[in-house]
């Protein structure tokens, strides 16, 4: 599908990808231009204008509409009557079923922020709310792709313990889900806080009720 485009952009800043830009270009057989943080927000109208005349493809990691930026772009295109086509990819939101926890039983998803960007209170409250209905909670971990900084699962769990989570809370940590060498580890929070799970991306799941 990408091969049929006149112009190709890649948006790699909302996730940690194992693919590089040159590997993408080689695979597709066409040059791919990297978008920087904010390009899709600040320069969206330029891209939509371009798509008026040409077939413009934007490659993103994961499923393309999980991030609000991409939904905004589609809306802007629709407003300007520029035709869009969405090709869904695989996503942590369904891949998390690899933990063995039923995808039907997940409640609201929350993101654990870096300390300078927010408090873990929202995360604790989200887990508690879901738990009160017996639902599992997927906790996504903050990242700063331009600084090449990704929150590790053990670091996040320690942050939650420091914010008041019981150290014996059951937690499942996953690393590199859907890629070769992925890891899934369940244990008490205090144990998971001292694991080494290797390269990012990592995520956490706090199971709700495990009985049916």
Q: Nearest approach, Cβ of 2 to a copy of itself (angstroms)?
A: 15
Q: Nearest approach, Cβ of 33 to a copy of itself (angstroms)?
A: 24
- Say if residues 8 and 27 touch (Cβ distance below 8 Å): no
- Of 23, 45, 153, the C-alpha closest to 34 is 23
If the CB atoms of residues 34 and 86 are measured against a copy of itself, the closer one turns out to be 86
- Contact residues: a copy of itself, CB under 8 A: 62-63, 65-66, 68, 71, 75, 85-91, 93-95, 97-98, 100, 102-111, 129, 133, 135, 178, 180
Q: Nearest approach, Cβ of 111 to a copy of itself (angstroms)?
A: 8
If the CB atoms of residues 54 and 108 are measured against a copy of itself, the closer one turns out to be 108
If the CB atoms of residues 67 and 153 are measured against a copy of itself, the closer one turns out to be 67
- Of 52, 60, 125, the C-alpha closest to 82 is 52
If the CB atoms of residues 11 and 63 are measured against a copy of itself, the closer one turns out to be 63
Torsion on CA atoms 150, 155, 156, 159, rounded to nearest 10: -130
Long-range contacts of 124-127 (CB under 8 A, 24+ apart): 124/160, 124/163, 124/164, 124/165, 127/206
If the CB atoms of residues 104 and 147 are measured against a copy of itself, the closer one turns out to be 104
- Alpha-carbon span 75 to 83, nearest angstrom: 11
Q: Nearest approach, Cβ of 168 to a copy of itself (angstroms)?
A: 26
Q: Nearest approach, Cβ of 125 to a copy of itself (angstroms)?
A: 11
Find the angle CA(88)-CA(90)-CA(94) to the nearest 5 degrees. Answer: 115
């Amino acid at each position: 599908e990408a091969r049929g485009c006149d112009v190709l952009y890649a948006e790699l800043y909302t996730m940690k990808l194992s693919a590089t830009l040159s590997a993408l270009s080689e695979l597709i057989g066409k040059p791919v231009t990297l978008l920087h943080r904010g390009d899709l927000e600040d320069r969206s109208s330029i891209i939509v204008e371009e798509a008026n005349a040409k077939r413009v493809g934007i490659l993103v990691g994961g499923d393309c509409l999980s991030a609000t930026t991409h939904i905004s772009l589609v809306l802007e295109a629709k407003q300007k009557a520029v035709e869009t086509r969405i090709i869904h990819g695989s996503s942590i939101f369904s891949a998390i079923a690899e933990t063995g926890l039923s995808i039907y039983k997940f409640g609201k998803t929350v993101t654990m922020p870096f300390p300078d960007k927010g408090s873990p209170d929202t995360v604790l409250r989200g887990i508690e709310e879901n738990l009160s209905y017996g639902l599992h909670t997927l906790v996504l971990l903050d990242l700063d792709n331009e600084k090449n900084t990704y929150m590790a699962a053990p670091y996040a769990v320690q942050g939650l313990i420091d914010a008041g989570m019981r150290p014996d809370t059951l937690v499942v940590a996953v690393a590199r889900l859907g890629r070769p060498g992925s890891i899934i580890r369940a244990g008490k929070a205090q144990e998971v806080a001292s694991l080494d799970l290797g390269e990012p991306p990592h995520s956490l799941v706090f199971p709700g009720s495990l009985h049916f």
